[in-house]
Structures are given as structure tokens and as C-alpha cells.
Amino acid sequence: MVAMKAKKSTSSVLKTKGVVKRAPPSPKIRIGVLVGKDFDPVKKGTQWPEYPEKYNLTNDDWGKYSVDVATALKMKQLHPDLLEIDIIPGKEIKEHRLKKNHLNLNFWYDVGVAIMSGKGKGHIDDVMKCHKNPECRLDPSWDYYDWVLCKPRYMEQCRKAGIPMIPTVVYTDGFDPKQCLKDVQKKGWDKFFCKVGQFSFFGEGAINGKTADFLGPRFKDLEAYGRANKSSKTFLLQPYTLKPNGEVFDEVRNFFIDGQWRYSIFTHGTDGSDAGFYQEPDGPRKVACKALAERAYQEVLKTASWQGKRQTPLLNRIDIGVIPRKGGDSLHKTDNTYFVNEIELIMTTWLDRYAPISVQDVMAQAAVKHSLELLAGLLKSKTKVPDRDKVKKVVEALNTRLGPFKHIKV
Ligand SMILES: Nc1ncnc2c1ncn2[C@@H]1O[C@H](COP(=O)(O)OP(=O)(O)OP(=O)(O)O)[C@@H](O)[C@H]1O
Ligand SMILES: [Mg+2]
């Protein structure tokens, strides 16, 4: 609101000696935001009142107002004199659209989403090009994106850092059912779980069962699995990891925004109903999960970069697997087993509906600061920056307004 008032007074018409002068319009920079979450709504009733209908991706009442668009709408309101926000839904992702913006932030729509969308190879190629072409100035940039998305890359780094994870055999050149069974027997796993290790999510491309069954009647299922996933190269083979009561392990999802742990959400391994999702309550499980997630996050911070320079990511989610010593309930227990199951990029479910903070508000503020860091980095680099002088002016103005931050030099 303050910014809106300030804008009005500076652009007001100045009258001196009968001459009418208009103050030059303040320069603005354009930030693209890639969206498309139709399953990750804000808390009911907390969306901005003017939420354009075209961004309602579902008619389900609970999921109409996606947190990615809600965040972009909030960003629009924060510094309207300096920033223009270009909301880009999946089907509009094209190199030329992204290149027109000074910077683009991806909140959801990545290559994995394009693959799942069923819109075909042309669309997947379009999205892939935007990720790989530095002139699209898309965050996250390729190398860091690939480090997280290609799971064996970060898993190996975490393993070397002594972070507990499920033991894993990695295949990088496709899936061979015979090799899989050989490896499972060598490891002595009586049940196993195999999943695609890149561009996969929502548990797509996974198979599990008893080793004895796959050695016998279910061998054909393993062959069919190989055929169904023949376009994938990377696979992770693991013991089928269950709680003592026979259910799949639970997960506590830890969210980090702009370098800080902010909240964690419990999700039950098998109960998909509302009872299976809740804000992680205070207690030993929350503390242990946070501590382990912080260790994995240090590896993220060591590795994450943008356009070749070190950069703290805007958001990460680190999923900690939890197994109680007895039964199925791990809440308030001090003898649970914990491991890192997955590191997620910003293009993940933010789960605002269970969070103790307004994720759209926090993310909008953080995204502006993050954009400032990225733009200041661009200006320092030798990269061609469109409207360099204009960008510099806006970066200076924004840094003065928000900070000025010591780590941002213009
Ligand atoms: N080794 C395992 N044993 C048993 N269950 C597993 C194992 N690995 C993964 N799962 C189950 O499959 C789910 C999906 O696996 P994971 O999270 O590793 O990959 P993903 O496909 O990226 O999933 P998502 O996008 O849903 O997080 C897990 O949340 C867990 O319930
Ligand atoms: Mg997962």
C-alpha cells in the first residue's frame, strides 16, 4: 500500500510556470513465474479476492486456489512500481516468452510435469529448452536442477557426508530384470522396491514385492515393468522398507525457504485421507527430523548454484523417512529410525493447507528477495542482460527498499 501511494505522488503531474511536465515512468523489470499446481491449494478462504478464474485448474472446491498462482498474485502487489509479474501456465512455456522477461522463477512446471502432461514430445522439448538455455534466465538453473532431479547425484553426495539413507543400487543405463534379481539376491533382500530415479514423482514408475515371487511367477511383471519404463535410464533399487506393522514408512516433510527451516508436515505412508496429513507436532520426532533435514540441507547449500554461481535456493523440501521400533506409530517416540528419503526442489508440493504460516505471503516476500539476488548476480556476470541499465536502477531501488543487504552489491 505504501508503495502504491509513493508511486502516485512521484508520477503526479508537475506544474511550473504553466509548463506541464510528466515525471518519467519508473523503470520496471519483468519476472516470469511458471505455475500449474492443481493439487496444492492455499488454506481455504485465504486466496487473494481477485484470483483470475483462468488459473483455477480444477473445479474441486478444496483445490481451486493454487499456492503458486496465489504467491505470484501477492508478488504483483508488493512493489508494483518496480516489478511486473508475468504468470506463465504450462502450455505457454516457450523460450521466446521466457526470454522477454528479465528473470523467470519456476514454482512448478518442469520437465517432469511436461512429461506427465501427455502434451507430447514438442511440449517436453519446449520446457527442456527453457531449462537448459541460460538466456531464459530460469531459476532453478540446469546444473542444480539436474543434481536434485537425477536422484543418484545428490544421494551419493549425502551418503559420502554420512547422512542415513535407504541402501540403494543405482542403474544408469536402463532396467534389466535379470540384473535386478541378481543384485537383490546378492544384497539378501527378501522384498524390494524399484523406482525410476529421474523426472519421476507421485511414486510413478515403481514396482515392489517379494523377491521369491519375482524369481517365480512374477518374473513377467518385472519384464513388463522394464518395458513400461523403457524410456527411462536411471533406476533405484532398494529393500522394500516397511514399519514393523507392515505399512510403508511415514515421512516428515521439512520446508526450507531462503536458507531457513520454516515448517514440517507429517504424511502417513499409506493413509491418504485427511487423517494422514498434519502439521508435525512438537516433540522428539519433529526435532530429530529437523536435525537430519538440516544436515542434508547443508549439502544442498554447498551445491546449489544459479547460472554458475553459488546461490541459496528459494525453497527446498527434505523428506525424512520414519520407522518406529514397534508397531506403526512413531509420534512422541524416542527410538524411531530416521533416514533421508528425498530432497525436493521448489517444484514440489508446498502443503500450505497444513502449514503454520501463510506460505503464499512468506514465499512472495522471499521470492522478491531471491529475485533481487539473482538479478544482482546477473549484473555482476559477463552475461548479456537485456536492458542492463534499467535492471541496475531497479535492483538498486529494490535493494535500498528491502535492505540494503550486505551480500548484495550492485
Ligand atoms: N524403498 C522403499 N520402500 C518402500 N516404499 C518406498 C521406498 N521408496 C519409496 N517408497 C514409497 O514410494 C513413495 C514415492 O517414492 P519417492 O518419494 O522416493 O519418489 P517420488 O516418485 O519422487 O515420489 P513423490 O513425488 O511422491 O515424493 C514414497 O513416499 C514411499 O511411500
Ligand atoms: Mg517423495
Around ligand 1, the residues with Cβ closer than 6 Å are: 166, 193, 195, 200-204, 206, 238, 240-241, 248, 251, 269, 341-342
| Distance from the alpha carbon of residue 199 to the mean position of ligand 1, in angstroms | 13
| Distance from the alpha carbon of residue 152 to the mean position of ligand 1, in angstroms | 14
From 116-120, 207-211, 320-324, the region with the lowest mean pLDDT: 116-120
pLDDT, tens digit, for every residue of 336-386? 999 999 999 999 999 999 999 999 999 999 999 999 999 999 999 888 889
pLDDT of 307 reads 93
Q: How far apart are CA 405 and CA 97, in angstroms?
A: 31
Element at 52 (helix H, strand E)? none
| Distance from the alpha carbon of residue 277 to the mean position of ligand 1, in angstroms | 16
Choose which residue among 169, 194, 201, 344 to substitute to test ligand 1 binding: the one with the highest number of ligand atoms within 8 A of its C-beta: 201
pLDDT of 58 reads 85
Q: Which atom of ligand 1 is nearest to the CA of 196?
A: 21
Widest distance between CA atoms in the chain = 96
Q: How many residues are listed for the chain in this entry? A: 410
What DSSP character marks residue 62? G
Q: Which ligand is nearest to the CA of 202?
A: 1
| Distance from the alpha carbon of residue 217 to the mean position of ligand 1, in angstroms | 25
What DSSP character marks residue 25? P
Q: How far apart are CA 27 and CA 184, in angstroms?
A: 61
Residue nearest to ligand 1 atom 26, measured at CA? 202
What DSSP character marks residue 252? E
pLDDT, tens digit, for every residue of 281-309? 999 999 999 999 999 999 999 999 999 99
Residue 389, burial from CB neighbour count under 10 angstroms (0-12, 13-18, 19+): exposed
Q: Which atom of ligand 1 is nearest to the CA of 270?
A: 31
Mean pLDDT of 67-92: 97
Question: What is the pTM assigned to this prediction?
Answer: 0.92
> For residues 39-70, b (16+ Cβ closer than 10 Å) or e, as one string?
ebbbbeebbbeebeeebbbeeeeebbbbbbbb
Phi, psi of 361 (to 5 degrees): -70, -50
Residue nearest to ligand 1 atom 19, measured at CA? 203
Q: Which atom of ligand 1 is nearest to the CA of 200?
A: 21
Mean of per-residue pLDDT scores for the chain: 92
Is the pLDDT at 231 greater than 50, yes or no? yes
| Distance from the alpha carbon of residue 202 to the mean position of ligand 2, in angstroms | 7
Q: Which ligand is nearest to the CA of 151?
A: 1
pLDDT of 15 reads 43
Choose which residue among 150, 249, 277, 348 to substitute to test ligand 1 binding: the one with the highest number of ligand atoms within 8 A of its C-beta: 249
What does the block give as the cell for 65? 486456489
Neighbouring residues of 315: CB distance < 8 A, sequence distance ≥ 6: 255, 256, 257, 258, 345, 346, 348, 350, 363, 366
| Distance from the alpha carbon of residue 203 to the mean position of ligand 1, in angstroms | 5
What is the pairing mode between strands 103-106 and 138-139? parallel
pLDDT of 405 reads 95
Q: Which atom of ligand 1 is nearest to the CA of 251?
A: 29
| Distance from the alpha carbon of residue 319 to the mean position of ligand 2, in angstroms | 7
